[in-house]
Amino acid sequence: MAIVETVVVALLLLFTWAIHGRGKVGLIAGYDGDLPPEREAELARDAAAVLVVAAAASSLLVVDAWTGAVPRPGALVTVAVLAAVAWFLRKWNGREPDRE
């Protein structure tokens, strides 16, 4: 059954809503609250985008569980999530820290 995959997708979307929609950037691992408000909003948008990509990719597992029509769903999900996470890490860790 696709119950576990469905719950994972639902949790990812819930975290997306909490981080972006409700401004709960404290849910982002490693964030210590030292950014100005506009950069904090950008961080929330980027983290939410990664979670949406992860939820969309994980929904392939749900579709495959019900239909069996997705070739290599695990590999597709892994590549999509790794690409999104790599983009996020490069964007937020690959530049000089903001100087005030």
Mean pLDDT by 10 residues, the chain (100 residues): 84 90 77 84 91 92 86 91 94 69
Per-residue model confidence (pLDDT) at position 88: 92
Domain-located, residue 100: no
Measured CA to CA, the distance from residue 80 to residue 59 in angstroms comes to 12
Find out whether 77 and 55 touch, Cβ atoms under 8 Å. no
Domain-located, residue 73: yes
What range does the domain containing 74 cover?
Answer: 3-93
- 98 secondary structure, DSSP code: P
Q: Structurally, how many domains does the chain consist of?
A: 1
Domain-located, residue 28: yes
Return the half-sphere exposure (C-beta side, CA atoms, 13 A cut-off) of residue 37: 0
Find out whether 2 and 61 touch, Cβ atoms under 8 Å. yes
Measured CA to CA, the distance from residue 85 to residue 22 in angstroms comes to 22
Domain-located, residue 99: no
User: What pTM was computed for the model?
Assistant: 0.81
